[in-house]
Amino acid sequence: MTEGYLGIDIGSISTKGVVINREKDILAEDYLWTNGNPVEAVKRLLASLERQCLKKKINIVGVGTTGSARKLIGAILNAIIVKNEITAHAIGTLTRHPNIRTIIEIGGQDSKIILLNKGIIEDYAMNTLCAAGTGAFLSSQAERLHIPVEEFGDIALTSKHPTKIAARCTVFAESDLVHKAQMGYSKEDIIAGLCKSVAINYLNNVGKGKRILSPIIFQGGVSKNKGVKKAFEELLGEEVITDNYGHLMGAYGVAILAERTKEKRPFSWDIKDLNFKTIGIECQKCPNHCEIITIRKECELIDAWGNRCENGAITK
């Protein structure tokens, strides 16, 4: 049996999983929608990865988690390591592209920029306040135009005159899109304009004040959109690299971090068949009134956090 390490990146929109060996090769992977329920999403992810690992005779010896629900899923899976997205993306990227200086990442509901210098994180910024310029924004516009978002990139590349779309705010962008469609602009020009507006929005907000140096890599689900990639290249005047595993880089990075610990922890695929429940408790033991989050597996307490003093500490 090959020993494998599982990395899971749980975002608000998508959940990603990667299994690697000790040589950092990707042996199994999947990407699916979170649908507002990270626990159920991870169960579906595990079912998919289990099939791949059984076929390739891979034995999972450790787990790492990252993403917005990393602590919750880390507790459920008894993870070796729970790490933030910035570190996970940087580690994953540098493993495959050691010379990268700038990481542009646009996901479902947030985006980030990571600046690297000689393999060290020099600076970073995140945008989690507005959905404008993210995958969710593009998906909503695709639905409005009755065109699958997966086709946006190819359609955008056929445009000769991209339409200018005001994309600093989702509401303004949608009203502008409707206005341009009513004026008779072609769908390919509107779509190309949307792709360009995503890149402009990113550079004006997430990348504002940042020195974006080459080599540049574009990651996240939106990196699959060729129209947005082309827009970044035109605006920056630099080649922008994409990776076939760019949408999985957070999961890949945290799997590498788990492997680096050289630690092993028991893991069973059967965990996907168990019931987990999150319960919030307001502590009354001091004036802080902390909201303590408790995670239960089949009624057994497995983890708790949120207390700001020892009074609210809850042990297994």
| pLDDT tens-place string over residues 143-175 | 777 888 788 888 888 888 888 887 666 667 777
The verdict on 226 and 295 lying in the same domain is no
The number of angstroms, rounded, from the C-alpha of 70 to the middle of its chain's C-alpha atoms is 11
**Percentage, residues of the chain above pLDDT 70:** 95
Residue with tokens 């200018």: 164
- Split at pLDDT 50, 70, 90, the class of 234 is very high
The verdict on 76 and 116 lying in the same domain is no
Task: Confirm whether 97 is domain-assigned.
Answer: no
Q: Is the pLDDT of residue 14 over 80?
A: yes
The verdict on 12 and 109 lying in the same domain is no
The verdict on 190 and 237 lying in the same domain is yes
The verdict on 124 and 215 lying in the same domain is yes
Q: Is the pLDDT of residue 232 over 80?
A: yes
Contacts of residues 43-47 at CB distance under 8 Å and 24 or more positions apart, as own/partner, are 43/272, 45/8, 45/15, 45/16, 45/17, 46/17, 46/269, 46/271, 46/272, 47/272
Number of domains in the chain: 3
| Section 195-203 average pLDDT | 87
The verdict on 292 and 177 lying in the same domain is no
Task: Confirm whether 99 is domain-assigned.
Answer: no
* Number of other CB atoms surrounding residue 250 within 10 Å: 34
**Percentage, residues of the chain above pLDDT 90:** 49
Task: Confirm whether 293 is domain-assigned.
Answer: yes
Full-model pTM: 0.85
Task: Confirm whether 139 is domain-assigned.
Answer: yes
- Split at pLDDT 50, 70, 90, the class of 128 is low
pLDDT in the model for residue 74: 93
pLDDT in the model for residue 163: 86
The verdict on 59 and 186 lying in the same domain is no
The verdict on 117 and 79 lying in the same domain is no
| Contact (CB, 8 A) for 307 and 313 | yes
pLDDT in the model for residue 131: 59
Report the distance separating Cα 51 and Cα 218, nearest Å.
30
pLDDT in the model for residue 269: 93
Closest by CA position to 114, among listed 133, 97, 93: 93
Range of the domain at 41: 2-91+251-273
User: For residue 122, what is the domain's CATH number?
Assistant: 3.30.420.40
Enumerate residues 6+ apart whose C-beta is below 8 A from 155. 147, 187, 188, 191, 192, 227
The verdict on 70 and 198 lying in the same domain is no
The verdict on 268 and 286 lying in the same domain is no
pLDDT in the model for residue 132: 58
| Section 282-305 average pLDDT | 80
Across all residues in the chain, what is the average pLDDT?
Answer: 88
Report the distance separating Cα 147 and Cα 163, nearest Å.
17
Task: Confirm whether 149 is domain-assigned.
Answer: yes
The residue that leads in pLDDT, 276 or 257, is 257
The residue that leads in pLDDT, 294 or 254, is 254
Could you give phi then psi for residue 159, rounded to 5 degrees? -75, 140
Report the distance separating Cα 177 and Cα 241, nearest Å.
29
Task: Confirm whether 96 is domain-assigned.
Answer: no
The verdict on 8 and 19 lying in the same domain is yes
Task: Confirm whether 98 is domain-assigned.
Answer: no
- Split at pLDDT 50, 70, 90, the class of 119 is very high
Q: What angle do CA 24, 61, 2 make, to 5 degrees?
A: 60
Task: Confirm whether 173 is domain-assigned.
Answer: yes
pLDDT in tens, 74-95: 999 999 999 999 999 999 999 9
**Is the peptide bond preceding residue 98 cis, with omega within 30 degrees of 0?**
no
The verdict on 132 and 227 lying in the same domain is yes
